[in-house]
Structure 1
Amino acid sequence: MLWINRFGGMFLVGVLLLSPLSSAAARGESITVLTEHSPPGEYIDDQGRVTGPTAELVRELLQRVGHTGKISLLPWARGYMLARRGPDVALFETTRTELRENQFKWVGPIKRITGGLFVRTEDDVSLTSLEDARNLDAVCVYRGSSGGQALNAMGFTNLEEPTHSAQCLDMLMHGRVDAWMTSDIARVPLFAETPYSENEVRLAYATSTKYLYIALSLDVPDSTVALWQDTLDQMKLDGTLARYYRGTYPDDMIEALSQPGHPDLPWLD
């Protein structure tokens, strides 16, 4: 599966939390909640506060279940190691995969990222497979992206490779390319920098869909996981998730995530 990685941050921001509802609090210990620095979802503002729509969603989730906390910064490798080892660690936003399935307990999803080929909404472009894209006059991938590298490795000869992804959007809207390899999340901030609107571009073919979760260390009690999941589901139903995400993330992603429960994951069949 193809995936375009636009996030280069390799640090984690930790929130040290105390909860009367968790086994950690019962033992006088703390639950540590970690997040990668990954704008626009999570970043540190000028006052040193962790913010961003996903961070604020999780912060409200924690408040609703009775947690309060202090923010700390950790390197990515150490944060992931702590989440694997425990005790009482939660890490967001973590892609839920078959390989990771039994390494954590899961609460979510809190984000969905779809990568693929995007085209102008007005154009009559239909793609039923990635191979169909070979027949297009030109496909834009920004230079050095993993998606571009994958298409080059597959022998695509119709690629345009500018140095910035915003150039791909401009080339697409001016008809210089037929399709743009990106993700629904990666493309959204670019519209704020251009005169174009999100509804002028549509997904023609999806190459990957990933669901991101809060991953909890295996020692966290099932009752705590259930409490977090039930609370998150209620936040989806009462419009809290949509309130935080609207204006930053794609509308179709928000609509899909606003439904409680888990998506169909093939390895769980």
Structure 2
Amino acid sequence: MRLIISILAAALTLVGSASAEVLRAVTSADVAPMSRGHDQDLPGFNHELVSLMVERAGLSLQIDYYPWKRAQKIALGNESVLIFGLTRTEKREDQYEWIAPLIEAQRVFVTTGPLINSVEDARNLDNIGAQGVYLDALQAAGFENVEEATAARNLRKLQAGRVSAVYTLAERAAFEWAQFGYSPDTLRIGTPIAKIDLWLCATKGYSKETQARLAAALAEIRVSGEYDALHSKYFGGLTY
């Protein structure tokens, strides 16, 4: 009898596991350190946070990495998928389901010298390292003293004294600086120039029930202290 009960219990466990819904998410290592990849010891703040949310919601998760533009294209298609790391813009508003903001990131100037707390403060610098939207923003504001390179390369140049400042996310700068083994005390982070939320989104028409479960899971993670612990794991005692 005990053997029969044990077999039935095992069978029920297998059925429950097999019936657990598997969610698919897409992201990109292009948005490191929020997403870095399965092969990394630290796969990314958003990667770990979304994994924790899905686990807390009693679901399973498959995360696929693509170039960032392709990941967005997949999430705009007919397949129901999650995508994490998007900023919420007017153009994107009606293209996705906006489930929850994962992190409020800060666009800043970082230096190893005097703090740069505004765009105007940066105009008289010898040179500034920037890339992508950060480069575009500075050039649109009339800056001519900008050098284009990846954030990681720009930060190495900053430490070597080859650029005066880097315009990037505070979180990215703090993470990469620590990864390079530089002392956190030598990185000076200015007042945020802009604040941006990075969201967990989904294909339009995605299950409302699943969206609610994931949003509720994130709220629980914030209250439990797990969110702050994860933030500290990636960004240390980041202050502005």
TM-score, L = length of structure 2: 0.70
Q: Distance in 2 between matches of 1:64 and 1:132?
A: 45
Contact 1:19 1:31 in 2 (8 A): no
- Counterparts in 2 of 1:50 and 1:59: CA distance versus 1, 3 Å: farther
1:171 corresponding residue in structure 2: 161
2:52 corresponding residue in structure 1: 60
For 1:45, give the aligned amino acid. D
Contact 1:83 1:91 in 2 (8 A): yes
Q: Is the deviation greater in 86-95 or in 67-76?
A: 67-76
Identity score, percent: 20
Q: Distance in 1 between matches of 2:120 and 2:224?
A: 42
- The structure 2 residue matched to 1:219, chosen from 198, 205, 212, is 205
Q: Structure 2: any 5+ residue segments left out of the alignment?
A: 1-17
Q: Structure 1: any 5+ residue segments left out of the alignment?
A: 1-17, 254-269
Q: Distance in 1 between matches of 2:87 and 2:139?
A: 26
Report how far residue 228 of structure 1 moved. 1.1
- Counterparts in 2 of 1:146 and 1:218: CA distance versus 1, 3 Å: closer
Report how far residue 191 of structure 1 moved. 3.7
1:201 corresponding residue in structure 2: 188
Higher Cα Rg, which structure: 2
1:130 corresponding residue in structure 2: 119
For 2:80, give the aligned amino acid. D
Report how far residue 170 of structure 1 moved. 3.9
- The structure 2 residue matched to 1:32, chosen from 10, 14, 24, is 24
SS of corresponding position for 1:85: coil
4+ long deviations beyond 6 Å: none
Q: Distance in 2 between matches of 1:69 and 1:232?
A: 15
- Counterparts in 2 of 1:78 and 1:180: CA distance versus 1, 3 Å: closer
- The structure 1 residue matched to 2:167, chosen from 154, 178, 181, is 181
Q: Distance in 1 between matches of 2:148 and 2:27?
A: 31
- Counterparts in 2 of 1:50 and 1:33: CA distance versus 1, 3 Å: farther
- Counterparts in 2 of 1:211 and 1:67: CA distance versus 1, 3 Å: same
For 2:215, give the aligned amino acid. Q
Give the number of equivalent residue pairs. Answer: 215
Q: Distance in 1 between matches of 2:142 and 2:62?
A: 50
- Counterparts in 2 of 1:185 and 1:198: CA distance versus 1, 3 Å: farther
2:21 is equivalent to residue 41 of structure 1 = no
2:233 corresponding residue in structure 1: 247
For 2:234, give the aligned amino acid. T
Contact 2:23 2:62 in 1 (8 A): no
Q: Distance in 2 between matches of 1:141 and 1:75?
A: 23
SS of corresponding position for 2:50: helix
For 1:247, give the aligned amino acid. K
Report how far residue 209 of structure 1 moved. 2.3
More helix as a share of residues:
2
2:221 is equivalent to residue 228 of structure 1 = no
- Counterparts in 2 of 1:201 and 1:103: CA distance versus 1, 3 Å: same
Q: Distance in 1 between matches of 2:109 and 2:214?
A: 35
For 2:129, give the aligned amino acid. V
How big is the alpha-carbon RMSD for the aligned residues of Structure 1 and Structure 2?
3.5
SS of corresponding position for 2:233: coil
Contact 1:31 1:90 in 2 (8 A): yes
- Counterparts in 2 of 1:126 and 1:32: CA distance versus 1, 3 Å: closer
Report how far residue 199 of structure 1 moved. 7.2
1:262 corresponding residue in structure 2: none
SS of corresponding position for 1:237: helix
SS of corresponding position for 1:66: coil
Equivalent runs, 1:109-124 vs 2, <5 Å: 109-119=101-111, 123=114
